[in-house]
Amino acid sequence: MNHNASRPRGSHVRQSWRIAIAGTAAGFAGVVGLSGTAAAEPLAPQPSLPSPATVTQTVTVIPQAAPAVPGPSQPVGPATVPASGPGVLPAAVPPGTAAGLGTTTTTATAPAAAPRPVSVPLSPNPSGTIRDYLASRNVAMEPQVPTNFSALNIVLPRPTGWTQVPDPNVPDAFAVIADRVGGDGLYTSNAQVVVYKLVGDFDAREAIRHGFTDSQQLTAWRATGGSIAEVNGVPTSIIEGTYRENNMTLNTSRRHIIATSGTDRYLVSLSVTTAESQSVAAADAVDAIVNGFRVAAPAPAPAAAPAPAGRIPPTAPLNAATVPVSLGGASGLGPVFSPVSGLP
């Protein structure tokens, strides 16, 4: 009895262990299965965020790819570049592909630079002055006065403190301005303009080659610089230096210009002189006069455009037209250097 009764209990125990082992194995398999499933199946997709790696790759790689050619239905131009996805920079267009796609090039055209004066150097001729040469050619020198003079536009800058003065010591003076504020009380810095109409036949280039001689004939002359050239077709001589007068050393800058107005020719001469002791104090004023002095023929008046049919042209205001006045200008202007006021 006892032996027979123990068998079912052993069987029951073994059966219970089998169930326990089987359950444990199933549980282990379930854990492994879940782990495998978790590794193989990602979580719900998250929206991608831009990252530095993506940006760097886009900039580096996309410009090397072949550019997409727009389809027939797309307009050719900058608008045909496909939009990039989120977090990606637009692809850079390689140089040279814009023309192939028909886009407008973005190369900016630099503004045309102002033409530089064409200067043709001429060699000095010390055999005589310009006046000597013209006399040898029987050319008459007719002195001009500023009243009603319209053959040339002459600009003579007038520094602050300088005023127009009558100077009987300047033969045939066209205009004389002098520094009435500065100076050492012994010599007054001044600028003189003389204009002659030249009547007769002569070679203007040969005449200007004598432009140094009158300065070189001054007492104790020492040149500090100078040039003789045909500047934009205008014969011009400029010389600078020092000389002695009345026991004083003077600095001077002298210029001769042979200007043409229509069929007439004129000799325009400028001299700016200061005492050597005042050369530093008067430097700015002298530079303003020398660099701002201009001589030019008046520009031809532009032809008036025809008024449209059936319309009455508007009446121009009284101050619309500005006519250059030789050696003229308004007084009391703000800039330091203003043109010389109207001459008597």
Backbone angles phi, psi at 57, to 5 degrees: -65, -40
pLDDT at position 193? 98
Q: Match 């229509």 to its residue by tokens.
A: 262
pLDDT at position 41? 43
Quick: pLDDT tens for 132-187: 999 999 999 999 999 999 999 999 999 999 999 988 888 899 999 999 998 778 89
Cα–chain-centroid distance for residue 310?
44
The helix (H) or strand (E) run that includes residue 99 is: helix 97-101
CA 42 to CA 328: how far, in whole Å?
90
pLDDT at position 184? 77
Q: Dihedral of CA 100/104/108/114: which sign?
A: positive
CA 110 to CA 264: how far, in whole Å?
40
Quick: pLDDT tens for 269-321: 999 999 999 999 999 999 999 999 999 998 877 777 776 665 655 544 434 33
Domain locations in the chain as residue ranges:
119-299
Using CA atoms, how far residue 304 sits from 121, 128, 318, 325, in Å, is: 40, 49, 17, 22
Supply the DSSP symbol for 12.
Answer: H
Cα–chain-centroid distance for residue 288?
21
Q: Match 């700016």 to its residue by tokens.
A: 272
CA 242 to CA 219: how far, in whole Å?
9
Helix/strand/coil for 79: helix
Q: Give the burial class of 258: count Cβ atoms within 10 A of its Cβ; 0-12 exposed, 13-18 middle, 19 or more buried.
A: buried
In sequence order, the 6+-apart residues with CB closer than 8 A to the CB of 82 are 68
Domain 119-299 in this protein, CATH class:
alpha beta
Enter the pTM of the model. Answer: 0.58
Asked if 207 contacts 178 with a C-beta cutoff of 8 angstroms, the reply is: no
Q: Match 């326990």 to its residue by tokens.
A: 20
CA 78 to CA 99: how far, in whole Å?
11
Indicate the pairing of strand 153-155 with strand 264-275: unpaired
Quick: pLDDT tens for 27-79: 444 443 333 433 444 445 555 555 444 333 333 333 344 444 444 444 444 44
Quick: pLDDT tens for 201-254: 999 999 999 999 999 999 999 999 999 999 999 999 999 999 999 999 999 999
